[in-house]
Chains A and B, each alone.
Chain A
Amino acid sequence: MTQPTANCPNCGAKVVFRWSGSVQTVCEFCKSILIRTDLNLEKVGKVADLPPSSSPVQLGAEGIFRKRSFVVMGRIIYEYDQGNWNEWHFVTNDGASGWLSDAQLNYAVTFAAQGQTLPRECKIGQQYTWNGQAYVVSTITKAHYCGVEGELPFQYWDKSDVVFVDLMSQSEKFATIDYSEDPPLLFLGESVEFEDLKLKNLRSFEGWS
């Protein structure tokens, strides 16, 4: 994998892209949010202090999902009335971009799904079928965008309130609709057990080995 490099337009520090598909990254030194335009970088904002993370996942963590290894490269943090959760952006060894969400240590792996018709709004208990799999709306969460870290596959910054709709199924298949964009984004995947991801390069917790 080639690793394109550039300099931060704000502080001049070297910025490395570990994934060629990255559209956005955050300067490690000055926390500027940088958008890639060809080989130039444009500063679009600055990340405020992130809330203390209690996720065991961090940038650089490596794991395995369905026999494909992946590396965690970025994250988006959301806050809602029950705390915050992380959407960790990962890239697989064959170059696919996916998401590992950690919501109070409940984990799900999803990938962006294109070409599906999505409802304008949902109610709890409503059922939808995508790719032959039936999903039922289980939670609707009003969250607000709290911060970003690392490399992302699209521009994601300066968001305010976002509505997320989580859907469960009778298997462990899992779906999320992200209403921050118009049209909304659909992510399909499954709920996973932490140890099934065989994660490495995790954070350690004081008092726990």
Chain B
Amino acid sequence: MSTSGPAPAGAPQVKSLNCPGCGATLTVRSFGNAVTVICESCHSVLDAQDPALRILQQFHASTDEDPPLIPLGSRGSIRGVLYEAIGFQRRTIQVEGISYSWHEYVLFNPTKGFRYLTEYDGHWNDVSILRALPELSAGGATLKYLGETYRHFQTVDAATAFVLGEFPWQIRVGEIARVSDFISPPRVISSEGSGEEVTWSIGEYIAGRDIWKTFKLQGEAPAPIGVYENQPSPMSSNVKKVWALTGVFLIALLAVAVGAYWMESDEQVFEQTFEFNTGAGGEGSFVTDVFQLKGRTSDVELTTNASVDNDWIYLNYALIDQDTGHAYDFGREVSYYHGYDSDGSWSEGGTTNTVTIPSVPPGNYYLRIEPESDPNRGLVRYAVTVKRDVPQASFFGLAALALLLPAGLMTWRSLNFEHLRWAESDYGSAPSDGSLLSTVESITDTFKGSEDGE
């Protein structure tokens, strides 16, 4: 035992007292720290610092008017510290003639002190008092705290509408305080004051199911409704990561594409010019000489160049493996039309057609060609070129598109989320701060605006 002072008069105990209003038993859970305690039976607001529990106020409410979701006296851990729920209040604001209410819970630990939980429509925040002052910007649109910028979301006059349990300050039903919220999801910094004195607090969004788990509450946490002011976007934190990752993949893809252009032999294996006499009639089918496709299984590119001029030629091709007889059948049309009309000159089609046959194994191949055209056309010349192992730019384009798709989708969903968030603010829409998100946001708004205008 210490030699410097008298022994304290025993360990502080949870006090059981009787309400001077109705005689019901009152439990004071925060030892000498409670300033106000509210009788659950008769709703007398009592001075907890007065040994006689002077009645400060009585308010009318049915006992079960607003049962706390976390019953007073239940305990749970928040960031590794055990707390007991000791107080509960409902606060109400008026926006355009409509009342909105949220709930606040007072949590207590005998050495760590007080902490708060707030709940609105299934959205929860873990709130503690700030020990340092945030740095408010000149216009009050933003503030800075620990190097992070918070943006003003809304300012409301909140009235205390219902109270239960204990509070470490003097609380009254009907009391109004001006509350301003500044957000940087998942955090919110709030100022609160009823006079000159302003208290700053910081809240962090917390999932209802985590509260249900730690306080061992019955049933399931009510599902949150809508988007809350500091609710972290399920996307936004990932959007940057996904874009970064997409960037890495695109660079890798580009490297592969460049490598492919280097590696692919792009070798011409066959070239021949043919003439087709359209008037000859009968079976026009013939086969070419055999040519060799070397290397690994790869693509084959066949180009048809025909001397068509305001007419057409259709070629039925078959690329046939001499050894196995396996055939790749395909047809190509080459048509070219042009002329003048009231709008000036016009043209359609062209004299060249290219087709790619993917994944052709190596071997000895020949082509069977069957041309068709207008029987009155006469002689049509056409050249057939076959190239082996041609790099396919379109493949890389498709791959790039496939890579961009998830990032684009996430960005869109994230913008949508921010739109819903800021729709609830004093401003009705997201602020423009030059960031990527707000830039895209304002672009989409412009589009919407022009649609509305039409």
Known A-B contacts A54-B33, A205-B12, A206-B13; A83 and B49 likewise in contact (beta carbons under 8 Å):
yes
Among A28, A56, A82, point to the contact of B170 (Cβ < 8 A): A82
Flag if A207 contacts B14 (CB, 8 Å). Answer: yes
- Residues of chain A within 8 A of B6, CB atoms compared: 28
User: Contact: B113 with A138, CB < 8 Å?
Assistant: no
Of residues 27 through 52 on chain A, the ones whose CB sits less than 8 Å from some CB of chain B are 28, 51-52
User: Are B12's CB and A60's CB within 8 A?
Assistant: no
A87 in the interface, Cβ–Cβ < 8 Å? no
Q: Which of B8, B112, B132, B168 contacts A169 (CB 8 A)?
A: B132
Q: Are B111 and A172 in contact, with the CB atoms below 8 A? A: no
Q: Do residues B5 and A59 form an inter-chain contact, with CB atoms below 8 A?
A: yes
- Known contacts A124-B196, A194-B113; is A53 also within 8 Å of B133 by CB? no
Check B170 against A203 for contact (C-beta < 8 Å). no
How many residues on B have C-beta within 8 angstroms of the other chain's C-beta atoms? 37
Q: Is the CB of A125 within 8 A of B196?
A: yes
Write the A184-208 contact mask toward B (1 if CB under 8 angstroms, else 0): 0000000100110000011111111
Cα of A74 to Cα of B131 in the assembled complex, Å = 25
If A170-B135, A191-B132 touch, whether A52 touches B12 (CB-CB below 8 Å) is yes
B4 touches A16 (CB 8 A): yes
A203 to B197, CA, bound (A): 33
B131 touching A191 by the CB < 8 A rule? Answer: yes
Chain B CB count within 10 A is highest, among A51, A73, A84, A205, for: A205
Instruction: Mark interface residues in B1-35 (1 if CB within 8 Å of A CB, else 0).
Output: 11111101101111000000000000000111101
Task: Kindly supply a per-residue 1/0 record for chain A positions 88-120, scoring 1 wherever the CB is within 8 Å of any chain B CB and 0 otherwise.
Answer: 000000000000000011100000000000000
In the complex, A109 Cα to B345 Cα: how many Å? 89
Q: Is B228 an interface residue (CB 8 A)?
A: no
A207 CB, min distance to chain B CBs, angstroms: 6
Q: Mark B266-308, 1 if CB is under 8 A from A, else 0.
A: 0000000000000000000000000000000000000000000
**Are A104 and B114 closer than 8 Å at their CB atoms?**
yes
Contact of A54 among B30, B82, B114, B129 (CB under 8 A): B30
**CB pair A204 B33 closer than 8 Å:** no
CA distance A52 to B33 in the complex (A): 10
Residue of B nearest to A208 (CB): B110
Q: A105-B112, A170-B133, A205-B31 are in contact. Are A18 and B3 (CB under 8 A)?
A: yes
Which residues of A are interface residues toward B (Cβ below 8 A)? 16, 18, 26, 28, 51-54, 56, 58-60, 73-74, 81-84, 104-106, 123-125, 136, 138-139, 149-151, 168-174, 191, 194-195, 201-208
Q: What are 6 A-to-B residue pairs whose CB atoms are below 8 Å? A: A52-B31, A54-B33, A84-B49, A150-B4, A168-B131, A201-B2
Known: A150-B5, A194-B113. 5 other contacts (CB 8 A): A53-B12, A56-B111, A83-B32, A195-B112, A205-B11
